[in-house]
Chains A and B, each alone.
Chain A
């Protein structure tokens, strides 16, 4: 039964309606979590004993850096599905995930840079973590540019799916860069084996912000895929019926 529902979800008119119903819910839950996370991070959490209040950038920097990788994995998964089964919806996911991933990567780089200035004394260093994250931004931008450059939607889908799949090699490089190379960037705070090296009063708002950003992604993806579907199916009967009734 779950499989049947999943199968129906793959049909564009059904997904269009489903996304339209779900997006406001995930959106408002995201807003609520953001409010809680911001209150916890900016008001309740104490200043850091070394970094003072500047560390509070962590509450937007780390979640967006995590999401920059997570969005890529989702996009690459959709790209693989689009390559193997030529599923239209999967390509719509690849197309809509790219700008969201680029946004998260951009935010991670900019907020990291703003944090680096007072802490490291420099906006930028060409170390492994920062450089591989910059490569990720170019990958996302490259995917957007590639799609715009190819007129035939089926060739565009294929080219983007291949590029997205190949680009996966960059993900473990970013993730392990702080362990493989010596860098200015600090090591992992949360995913380190054993106890995370962060106090609970800072960890909880960080996790709430991470959850909020994840819900933001779901919301933005639903909205994006919905728009993609409508644009692609503009001459189909169901879109015509939609225009008639509303």
Chain B
């Protein structure tokens, strides 16, 4: 357990190290998820348009 506490403490630099990692992965995740969501929305829209056209 002490090991874990040491790990999270990062030798007294916890707020620096963990904030750097948190920001990095938040930005990287966002840059993957936003285009995926946009792409899905566009596919849905195009399918709807297609169904209207064949009717």
Interface residues of chain A, those whose CB is within 8 Å of chain B, are: 27, 42-43, 47, 52-54, 56-57, 60-61, 64, 96, 99-100, 103, 106-107, 110-111, 114-115, 117-118, 216, 219-220, 223-224, 226-227, 230-231, 234, 239-240, 242-244, 246
Q: Which residues of B contact A (CB under 8 A)?
A: 7, 10-13, 16-17, 19-21, 23-24, 27-28, 30-32, 35-36, 38-39, 42-43, 46-47, 49-50, 54
Nearest chain B CB to A46's CB is how many angstroms away? 11
A64 to B11, CA, bound (A): 24
CB distance from B48 to the nearest CB of A (A): 9
Taking a contact as CB atoms under 8 Å apart, the answer to whether B10 and A56 are in contact is: yes
Given known pairs A219-B32, A239-B46, the reply for A115 and B16 (CB within 8 Å) is yes
Cβ-defined contact, B16 with A223, below 8 A: no
Contact present for B39 and A115 (CB under 8 Å): no
Interface contacts (Cβ under 8 Å), in number, total: 90
**A57–B17 CB distance below 8 A:** yes
Which B residues touch A114, using CB under 8 A?
16, 19-20, 23
Q: A52-B12, A219-B32 are in contact. Are A234 and B46 (CB under 8 A)?
A: yes
- A96 to B38: give the CA distance in the assembly, Å: 13
Q: What residues on A are CB-neighbors of B28 within 8 Å?
A: 103, 107, 216
Are A223 and B23 within 8 A (Cβ)? no
Complexed CA–CA distance, A64 and B26 (Å) = 14
Contact of A115 among B20, B27, B32 (CB under 8 A): B20
Residue of A227, A240, A242, A244 touching B39 (CB-CB under 8 A): A227
Of all chain A residues, the one with the shortest Cβ separation from B19 is: A114
Are A52 and B11 within 8 A (Cβ)?
Answer: yes
Contact assessment for B20 and A226 in the assembled complex, using a CB-CB cutoff below 8 Å = no
Given contacts A230-B42, A231-B42, 19 further A-B contacts (CB under 8 A): A27-B32, A53-B17, A54-B16, A54-B17, A56-B10, A60-B21, A64-B24, A99-B31, A100-B31, A107-B27, A111-B20, A114-B20, A216-B32, A223-B35, A224-B35, A234-B46, A239-B46, A243-B46, A243-B50
